[in-house]
Amino acid sequence: MDHQPPVLSMRKICKSFAGIQVLKEVDLDLYAGEAHCLVGENGAGKSTLIKIISGAYQPDSGSITYQGQLLKNVSPHWAREHGINTIYQEIDLIPTLSAAENISLGIEPIKKNGSIDWPALRERATKILEGWGAEINVDVPVNTLKVAYQQMVAIAKALSLNNRVLILDEPTAVFTSSEIDLLFSILQKLKSQGIALLYISHHLDEIFRIGDRVTVLRDGTLIRTGAVDEFNKSSLVKAMVGRDIDFSLRNGDHCQGEELLRAEGVTRHGVVEDASFSLHCGEIVGVAGLVGAGRTEMARLLVGADRPDRGKLYLRGQPVEVGSPKEALLKGIGMLPENRKEEGLVLMRSMSENIAYSLVEKDARFGLVPWRKIKKAVQDMIQAVDIRPARPALQVLYMSGGNQQKVVLSRLLLAECDLMILDEPTRGVDVGARLEIYKIMQALKKQGKAILMISSDLPEILTQADRILVMAKGRIAGELTAAEATEEKVLSIALRLGEAV
Amino acid sequence: MQNILQRYRSTSFDTQSVLKILMILVGLVLLASAFSQGVFLQPKNLVNLIYQNALLIVIALGQMLVIITGGIDLSVGSMLAISSVLVVLFQDYGLPASIAIALIASVAFGLVNGFLVTYVRLPAFVVTLATMQIISSIAKVLSGGGAIYTGLHGAEIPVGLGEFYKNTLAGIPYPLFVCLIVIGLAALYLRSSIGHYTFSIGGNERAAYLSGIPTRLVKMAVYVISAALCCLGGVLFVARVGMGDPQTGTWIPLDSIAAVSIGGASLSGGTGTILGTLIGVVILSVLNNIMNLLGVPPTLQPAIKGIVILLAVYLNSARKQN
Amino acid sequence: MRAKIYPSQVVGFAEQNSALVALVIVCLLGALFVSNFASGMNLSAILFQYAIIGFLGLGQLLVILTGGIDLSQGAQVAMISIITAVLMRQAGVLPAVLGSLLVGTVFGLTNGLLVSRTRMPAFVVTLGTMGVARGLAQVISDSKPIAIEVGSFVDFGRSTLAGIPVSAILWVVVSLGLWFFLAQRRTGRHIYAVGGSEESARLSGIAVKNVKLLVFGLSGLLSAVGGIIWTARLSSGSPLGGNGYEMESIAAVIVGGGYMLGGIGTVSGTVVGVLLFGVINSILNLVGISPYWQGTIKGILILAAVALSQFRRIDHGSQARRS
């Protein structure tokens, strides 16, 4: 920015994991007072790079200079002590401890006799949080707070030291737009205090909003570094993927078929209130809403993972009760869970085993499984969906996010579900795989399937969905067709019943 | 050499682990032969090996199923003991009846284990540690504290049962026969749909549930199967030593877990092979043999087994999910 | 509207302090229906016996708070008793006590090393070392008990202060010290942190490996104390001792409000848990139930108590889930 030397300078950083090179001679300069955005597809190496800066990983080769000094063997503890703080996507707080304790974790103020100085501890926390205008109870365990509040406590924790460098790894994943505004105003303040910000995000608008400079990584290699002004959305994406992306992958025509599923007054106390809607064959229905609106909870009710307290479901006009995910699958309703690693995949088993669940159930006679027949079906699916690498025996653990998502999708496809509920289908998925997933969705729509797509990515919903249900505070607050929907309309419906957090 | 390595790497991870311990086994066998100056590999010794381990093989296979689901069954020793007591105790009603009673009791215990692990969601080692002691106490109550040789009203154990270990069917000794049947059933289990479910539950229970697998039923089932196999072990025990002993089986939990671990299964679940478990049993046996040949005092052997388990688990622990 | 409903207030208090309520109820029942229960001699007998479990419980609490478990405690009691007896014969009381404490600590640190530096789960490690400890106890003693004739040591096992066993007083003092440590000192809070979320604690710069090493080392030390007291009570070292003690210590911690996966648990709760089991044990004895039935009943009670505590925990856990 000025002509001062960078606060942090990385040269020729290399890192490999299990023989796979994740970073190849990456350079990065961070200047005081700038917001430096780091972009790239998944697997580009962004997370690894920041973990090296924060001391969680050690580079295989290359040098890091911090405030003029060459760093060796940085530990997370050392990094934190010297002003390099990282805020991860996973909220790294201790759920059973209070916000006050979390914010000062590891550096609790102590009295002369060595015991913890509780009033000082509390004050440190309240000073920061109140300065933000966020009314957060610092004395209760943080796992009793709302998720967005938890994230703010995590940020407060990172900010409570002498920061020189603050790294944020997709912090806004679970934020409402007012919370994002709050965050950005805080970041602006930090910039003016001379703190260097390193900001990773998949949301390009945020980059153009807050960023000063941007570094693009692709496959572990540095592609370009420059001022944000030098880019626009499409040139940025092009640098990330190395090809031209057609942003106007607008949804195909809407051909609504017969009614497949109808929900009337479905309620689960505290999370979903009186949900009534219908889904038809051959359409994609998007579900938008703020975090906490109850979208995933409603999906779980439809698929039998939870039981509703009240309400009725009709499948093709007939009343139906879904008691378990197994029953749902038998009736043709399948779900791609929000959190694929924890709920969608058995990471240590192979790709083909993960895909074959539904077939195992359907084709088994007296418990015996016709493995050879299943293998063929699985292989055909892997080809059709273009999963890479196309090795059926590979443990899913080693695959990229996008391909893992395709594995779960393949399972649903083999199960021949008529209704597919996709919860955040492109979260954590790189741009290339994202487009492939959209193509699959479109193809399914043409085949007459019904897709219920829950997404926090408004542009995604606006381009892919035929109709949009907007949820707020557990209710379906509004419904829009693709033609009439805009980001502002969706957001205003989502906010009308829900207050700003 | 390159080709061999390549082919090795492209096989599934289960196969890789079996190959690894097969090599260890070969090494140990060579060692044992050397120490015993060739006596070890004589057919008589090998047949003895089967006799001594039929019990452990049967129980270890049950333990393997439980471990694949990510659980563990520490109560196997006590279930063995109480089954032996029940079989002898109810001899007055005939052998089939007494075995039936023992089986019903074992299944009941297995259901308790399964229920507490599955529905109350207590950690398996806590549950089975507690049931181990409860069952052991009950066994002592039933037998009056020590071993019993006759039924409640004085009925003796049928001679046929005692001869069990000495007889053969078409050249195959009965105990081996029983083992082969159990191995066959286990193989069938693992290749069936419920086997697939078992692996999946061990790998990631939540994902398995959301994929439509009846996780709770399968989890209950493995504990019941383990208990049933312990009952079978109890019958084998009575056949071999002619008594019901409430204090037997102290080392069975450790031995069965060791065999399964050495065989390549991860204690966090999701992996495991029958062949691996069998090799694990054999390796344990060979180790015992070697220790005896080296003159290691019998009281120290459990300690050494403890160390062996730690080693085996350590080498296998790299494959946890995430 | 101010809720004046008295019963619900009682229920709320009871939920949070169910162990204490259970203890009170069982004591009342004992005092009312079991002869000799409320006598000074009986109460002090309970304390004599359960001070040992008390020490084990404190050590177990520390380990469980970090999300681990120590299954080797019972075996340690046996091993330490043998070592104490042997050392006392060779070298006298002080070397025996110091030596045993040292051995116990080293044993615990070994557990801690294995748990913190390898990826083996704690229950496997301590299951293995449990076997090793028992084996060692049997090898050193040749499977025979070793009598102790040193008068002062034996007296310590029986001495009381104002009617309360000295070992129990020692236990209370150590409990208070531990309570202070866990509530007011950094390292104590870090123990809770490691149990609450190990990864977050690590990222916050807490030396997780060292914390785990510490709690297992302390558990080893406290188990050694328990072992020494046990030996004094019995006036002999026995390789068969401590059977099932780890089960009771685990149960005491859980019943006292602890959470198996770590991060939640208190010294006061553990103390109440230990006393609860001591009282139940005493009642079973006084009523004249045979030892084998006692084992069964105690086992079932332990299982039920742990199951109930964790059952409620699941509810609380799901309430606090993300919106």
pLDDT of residue C310: 76
pLDDT at A1: 47
Query: How far from B306 is each of B261, B284, B300, C33, C215, CA to CA, in Å?
Result: 12, 11, 10, 46, 22
The whole-angstrom distance between A304's CA and the closest CA on chain B is 9
In this predicted model, what pLDDT tens digit does every residue of A170-185 receive, in sequence order?
777 667 777 788 778 8
How far apart CA A481 and CA A462 sit, in angstroms, is 9
**Residue A128 contacts residue A102 (beta carbons within 8 Å):** no
Give per-residue pLDDT as tens, A286-319.
998 866 678 888 999 998 888 888 888 998 888 9
Q: Is the pLDDT of residue B159 over 70?
A: yes
Confidence (pLDDT) at A18: 63
Tokens describing residue A286: 């998007």
Note the pLDDT of residue C11: 47
Using CA atoms, how far residue A380 sits from B113, B161, B236, in Å, is: 42, 55, 49
What would the pLDDT profile of B238-264 be if each residue is shown by its tens digit? 888 888 899 888 889 988 988 898 888
A147 → closest Cβ in C201, C202, C323: C323
Chain B residues inside the 8 Å CB shell of C107 = none
Query: Considering only CB atoms, which chain A residues are within 8 Å of C258?
Result: none
Is B309 in contact with C292 (Cβ distance < 8 A)? no
Across A411-430, average pLDDT: 85
CB contact under 8 A, B122 and C307: yes
Q: What is the CA radius of gyration of chain C?
A: 20
Q: In terms of CATH, what superfamily is A8-241?
A: P-loop containing nucleotide triphosphate hydrolases (3.40.50.300)
Among the residue ranges A160-174, A447-461, B31-45, the one predicted with the least confidence is B31-45
Contact A94 C197 (CB under 8 A): yes
Three-state DSSP class for A438?
helix
Contacts C136 to B, Cβ<8 Å:
300, 303
B212: contact with A, CB 8 A cutoff: yes
Mean pLDDT computed over A334-363: 79
Q: Assess whether pLDDT exceeds 90 at residue B79.
A: yes
* Predicted pLDDT of residue A245: 40
Mean pLDDT of C171-185: 94
A177 burial via Cβ count (<10 Å: 0-12, 13-18, 19+): middle
User: For residue A398, with 0-12 CB atoms within 10 Å meaning exposed, 13-18 middle and 19 or more buried, which class applies?
Assistant: middle
Please count the residue pairs, one from chain B and one from chain C, whose beta carbons lie less than 8 angstroms apart: 115
* Residue A2's pLDDT band (cuts 50, 70, 90): low
- Reference C54, options C214, C249, C250; nearest CA is C249
- pLDDT tens, position by position, B112-135: 999 999 988 888 988 998 999 899
Where is mean pLDDT largest: A364-373, B2-11, C291-300?
Answer: C291-300
pLDDT digits over A472-494, tens only?
Answer: 778 888 898 888 877 667 766 76
Residue in B closest to A299 by C-alpha: B210
Average pLDDT for residues C141-148, to the nearest whole number? 83
The single residue listed with the structure tokens 């159990």 is B182
Averaged pLDDT of chain A: 82
- Residues A401-425 have a mean pLDDT of 86
State chain B's maximal CA–CA distance in angstroms.
70
Please check whether residue A353 touches B, CB under 8 A: yes
Q: At residue A278, what is the residue type?
A: S
Q: Is the pLDDT of residue B218 over 60?
A: yes
Does the pLDDT of residue C105 top 50, yes or no? yes
C321 — pLDDT class (breaks 50, 70, 90): very low
Q: What average pLDDT does chain C have? A: 85
Give the chain C residue whose CA is nearest to the CA of A114: C185
Q: Sketch the domain layout of chain C as residue ranges.
A: 39-306
| Residue A447 confidence (pLDDT) above 90 | no
Search chain A and give the residue with CA nearest B320.
A348
Q: Is the pLDDT of residue B198 over 50?
A: yes
Percent of chain B with pLDDT over 90: 30
Tokens 């312990």 belong to B230
Confidence of residue A249 (pLDDT cuts 50, 70, 90): low
Please say whether the beta carbons of C257 and C5 come within 8 A: no
Give the contacts of B200 (CB within 8 A, at least 6 positions apart): A346, A349, A353, A357, B207, B208, B211, B213, B270
Residue ranges of domains in chain A: 8-241, 259-496
In this predicted structure, the answer to whether residue C29 has a pLDDT above a threshold of 90 is: no
Q: Name which of B87, B49, B23 is nearest B262 in CA terms.
A: B23
Is the pLDDT score of A348 beyond 50? yes
Which pLDDT score, from 0 to 100, does residue A20 have? 66
Q: Which amino acid is at C128?
A: G
In whole angstroms, what is the distance from residue A400 CA to residue A449 CA?
27
Write the DSSP string, A126-183. HHHHHHHT----SSSBGGGS-HHHHHHHHHHHHHTS--SEEEEESGGGG--HHHHHHH
Q: Where are the beta strands (DSSP E) in chain C?
A: 146-147, 160-161, 164-165, 236-237
The shortest C-alpha distance from C271 to chain A (Å) reads 22
Mean of the per-residue pLDDT values for chain B? 83
ipTM of the complex: 0.81
Query: Which of B165, B162, B185 has its CA nearest to residue B175?
Result: B165
Which residues are CB-contacts of A202 (< 8 A; sequence separation ≥ 6)? A39, A170
Distance, in Å, from the CA atom of C284 to the CA atom of A47, rounded to the nearest integer, reads 60
pLDDT at A495: 57
Highest mean pLDDT among B154-158, B174-178, B243-247: B243-247
For residue B191, list chain A residues with Cβ-Cβ distance below 8 A.
368-369, 371
- Class of residue C113 by CB neighbours under 10 A (exposed 0-12, middle 13-18, buried 19+): middle
Whether residue B240 lies within 8 A of chain C, CB to CB, comes out as no
Domain ranges of chain B: 53-249+266-272
Q: Please report, rounded to a whole number, the percentage of residues in chain B having pLDDT higher than 70.
A: 86
What's the confidence (pLDDT) of residue A236?
A: 77
Report yes or no: B145 at the C interface, CB cutoff 8 Å. Answer: yes
Q: Give pLDDT, residue B321.
A: 36
Which two structure tokens, joined as six digits, stand for C98?
């110091």
**CA–CA separation, A109 vs A122, rounded Å?**
10
State the Cα angle at A449 between B211 and B205, rounded to 5°. Answer: 5
Mean pLDDT of the C237-243 span:
86
Running DSSP on this structure, what letter comes out for residue B92?
G
Confidence category of residue C161, pLDDT binned at 50, 70, 90: confident
C-beta of residue C217 within 8 angstroms of C-beta of residue C64: no
| Cβ–Cβ gap A337/B210 under 8 Å | yes
Give mean pLDDT, residues C66-95. 92
Is residue B246 reached through a cis peptide bond, with omega within 30 degrees of 0 on the bond before it? no
- pLDDT attached to residue C70: 96
Query: In 3D, which of A3, A457, A446 has the Cα closest to residue A255?
Result: A446
In angstroms, the Cα distances linking B57 to B50, B53, B275 are 9, 6, 11
> Which of A303, A307, A384 lies closest to A338 in space, CA to CA?
A303
Would the pLDDT of A350 be above 60? yes
Q: Which of C184, C185, C192 sits opposite A97 (nearest CB)?
A: C192
Neighbours of A499 (CB within 10 A): 10
The whole-number pLDDT of residue A255 equals 64
Residue B137: its chain C contacts at CB < 8 A?
292-296, 299
Query: Which is more confidently placed, C323 or B98?
Result: B98
pLDDT of residue C67: 92
pLDDT tens profile A214-247: 999 887 888 888 898 888 876 776 676 654 444 4
Candidates C181, C259, C322: best to mutate against A (most CBs of A within 10 A) is C322
**C39-306: CATH architecture:** Orthogonal Bundle (1.10)
Average pLDDT over residues A63-74: 86
Assigned CATH topology for domain A259-496: Rossmann fold (3.40.50)
Per-residue pLDDT band for C126 (boundaries 50, 70, 90) equals very high
Which residues of A lie inside 8 Å of C (Cβ-Cβ)? 56, 75-77, 80-81, 86, 88, 90, 92-97, 101, 105-108, 110, 114-116, 141, 143-144, 146-147, 157, 271, 291-292
Q: A191-202 burial, b for 16+ CB within 10 Å, e for fewer?
A: beeebbbbbbbb
Mind telling me how many Å the CA of A106 is from chain C's nearest CA? 6
User: For residue B303, which residues of chain C lie inside 8 Å, CB to CB?
Assistant: 131-132, 134-136, 139
**Is the CB of C204 less than 8 angstroms away from the CB of A141?**
no
If you measure CA to CA, which chain A residue comes closest to B207? A343
**Partners of residue B71 in chain C, C-beta under 8 Å:** none
Q: What is the pLDDT of residue C33?
A: 85
Is C322 at the interface with chain A, CB within 8 A? yes
